[in-house]
Amino acid sequence: MPFLLLKYGVIVLYVVKVDSVKEFELKKEGAKGVKVKYLLHAGVGAKRIQLRLFTIDVGGYTPLESHEHEHEVFILKGKAKIYGENCILLAEPGTAIFISSFEKHKIENAGREPLQFLCTKETSEIPNELKDQDQR
């Protein structure tokens, strides 16, 4: 169960265990075998950043995309193949990755076990999957 501290009706502290957060399939064109948990977001007080936990199945990948927001990624488990506009890199647990605004990128599971990583997204919006539900 999450812990929530309010001051004057505003969330000032929110603590949640990963196991208690609902997982969603990433339903984007060009994605295969990708699941996401929205750990921190506007619905729980994070006004500018989302923190998401991604799990990519063996043989899975995110879509190749480019957008205004940047990403910070931290590999927790498995092996990742990171595609940039003009490069392909391999990343293992303990690797931190910065992806700037408008850089084409894709993350693929390059291993024999599920790939897990944390990823930030600059946004003040509640994730679409959570808009019709209790955020906590």
CA distance 61 to 63: 7
23-125 has which fold? Jelly Rolls (2.60.120)
Q: How far apart are CA 130 and CA 135, in angstroms?
A: 6
Indicate the pTM of the whole model: 0.92
Question: pLDDT of 4-35, one tens digit each?
Answer: 888 888 888 999 999 999 999 999 999 999 99
Report the Cα 114 to chain-centroid distance in Å.
Answer: 15
Per residue in 45-78, pLDDT tens?
999 999 999 999 999 999 999 999 999 999 999 9
The Cα 67–Cα 40 span in angstroms is 20
Distance in angstroms (rounded) separating the CA atoms of residues 135 and 125: 12
